[in-house]
Structure 1
Amino acid sequence: MTALFRFVGALALGLMVTFAGQAQTPFAPAIVVNDDVVTFYDLEQRRALYRAFGMPPAILEDQVVADLTDEALMRQESRRIGILVGERELQAGYNAFAQQRGLSGDQLTAQLTRAGIDPGTLRDQIEAQLGWRDAMQARFTSRARPNERDIEEAMMIDATGISREVLLAEIAIPYAERGEARTNELITQIYEDVRNGGDFRAAAREFSRAQTARNGGEIGWVATGDLPGPMRAEIDLIDAGGVTRPIPITRGVSLLAVLDERRVPTRNSGLVTISYVRATFPIDGGEAAARTAATEARRRLDGCADMTARADEFGPGSGRFGPEPLSSVNPALFSVLATAQLGQISQPVRIGDSISLIALCSRDVSLDADQRQQVQNQIFADRVSAFADGYLQELRRDAVIDVR
């Protein structure tokens, strides 16, 4: 009996040790997404990767869980429709990621390895995203492909729009001076200080190693459309007076502050040719009287042809103009003409020393083959991205996700 008791006790103890060891092993399940497992090792490696890329600690943990969960769903959908990312495609994606950071694929691998990060965690992420991209293109191509009217309308919207320019300042800190880990800690501390009222310009003078440091980090006015993708994504999230989260740059990390902003006509306005007619009402007798006269005239007038025929009845500067590039139009008229509907007469608007009525008579977009292809590709990519975001939400909603 005693021997049997000892045997059973030893067996129970062995099982307890086995189960405890399983609970603590890095390769135990941390998240189960449908039937796919994300291990504790996967979580820790992704945390390390995001820390190395300068992700703020406040959002890091939630982002790691969300991304690994989404990537599991992406792989499942890719497998379901038979999408397989080949080694050559995966390596090309990995090399492209490295090049964005000013490195070769081998150099990136070496950096990750020195930081104690398994390069496989980045490759896994890239593989999931490439498979998802191919799967979503296969699923939504017929719905996302634009026709000629879509292309012209998109180009018209772009060409007649207003773009955002920002007055930027930067803090750029290379990894070489303090090492990657300490540099990321420093930039995160600066970020938190500035968000809580700290002086960005003073921090730039002290810590930045860019040539702009002596000027408080000020870069100058920059169109947001000219910024690299990661920077533009951050800048688009903030208004004047705001500061971005840390942004990885070549061999370092940076912060950007938006000191001021302004809206300007898009440079693509030169691709649009317009003609218009204008009727002016001088304000010599007072602005109210001129506005009343313009309002009454607007009720009587019937579009471009009528305004053109009766131009002599109105004040100086009245008449028909164009065809001419939209980009050459007086800036005071641009905002009216850029948003005008063909043939419709505008509401009375003050421009200079008169009240004006303006009607857009013609508008044409001139695109060569390369420009048209670029617009078509952008529309297609934007639509696939939008469809994919919605579909991923559906997959999340229907999935069985167990976070342990």
Structure 2
Amino acid sequence: MIENVKRSFRVLALALAAALGGTVAAEAQNPFSTAILVNNSAITYYDIEQRALFLEALGAPGNRQELAVDQLIDERLKLQAGASFGLELEEESLELAVAQFAESRNLTAAELRDALAQRGIAASTLNDFVKAGVTWREVVQGRFRARATPSDADVDAALSLGRGSTQESVRLSEIAMPFEERGEEATRELAERLSNQLNGRGDFAAAAREYSRSNNAAEGGSLGWLEVGSLPPAIATQILALSPGEVTLPIEIPDGLSILKLHEVRVDSRTAPPELTVAYGQLVIPLPNPVSQTALREAEERAVAVQRELDDCLSLSARVPDFGPGSGRVKPVLPSQLPGDLRQVIDRLDPGETDVVRTADAVRVVMLCDRASNIAPEQREQVRTQLLNQRLNSLSEGYLQELKRNAVVVRQ
């Protein structure tokens, strides 16, 4: 077996000569020499051969040598990201992760190592593969989990659209500016200025009509609704970090720059919706007719003051005697039964949150008390997990692409 492994090293070295674009007279004699440097972290010919054999054992399709190189570069970057966060996988945690990886293939860790050894694959190759995956998962969780965690409103939106697997879509507009028109430096300066000026304010559509050179410029740069999963990871990462009304930083596109504005986010579904009710409370401050600016300002100031004092719907109920007719808790109703302006407010609140709403005859402090449906708690958590994983996957891919763009990769 040792002679077979040595022979495979010689064959691999010659194959990698073409793949890596260099001569390998020395490398063919020394499989432990450096094939690639990733930010000064070495990948040897031995590493590549071992990974290719490992991929073959797993039944990976395609050119396994090329896939081995791609995976090892990515993993070096993932481990470097982990090191920058001070992450170091302990031996006990590594053994547990290896055992879980083996269990997913109906083997014990010892059985998996024995099976790999029969193919000439070192235990360290399995350990390195598993270590990179676990480290990257911790990096992504630590960096993005708070941003990616769905709110109760997000879960309710997914449930109200009623499918087990969900897909987020976003309504976007763009300003696309080629370098050719103004030159690269001037285009970058303009893109930075527009991104700052239009973020959360300003007329994006007017700016698109003036500066964008895409086919949709005349329509204010509208791209319509797009599934987040269909966007390039680097773009999806920026979009998921935005709130509606905000715009991205300038994004590199072929021969130019693009700025995107997020208008709306929705969770799509393909099956019939379950019943979903909302319970809310309100404190009503009546307005005189006709209403003066002074009276309106005083009502709004009072609403904001009492809003700060409310902790939950019990505290709201305690304040009802101090306010006008219609104040109090409202029995659970379907969102479709609410007036349009009130429904928009309720839809964006989590239980216990409040907002101030101006209507024709009053200023109202509205608090969402609860959302309820015939969906089991276990299903809610499944949907929450699906949404979280979708967002983490998009953010993870975008972060990896960023690491690749900033990496110094030298093929020897």
User: Under TM normalisation by the shorter chain, which class is it?
Assistant: 0.3 to 0.5
TM superposition score normalised by structure 2: 0.43
Name which one, 1 or 2, has greater alpha-carbon Rg. 1
What TM-score does the superposition give when structure 1 sets the normalisation length?
0.44
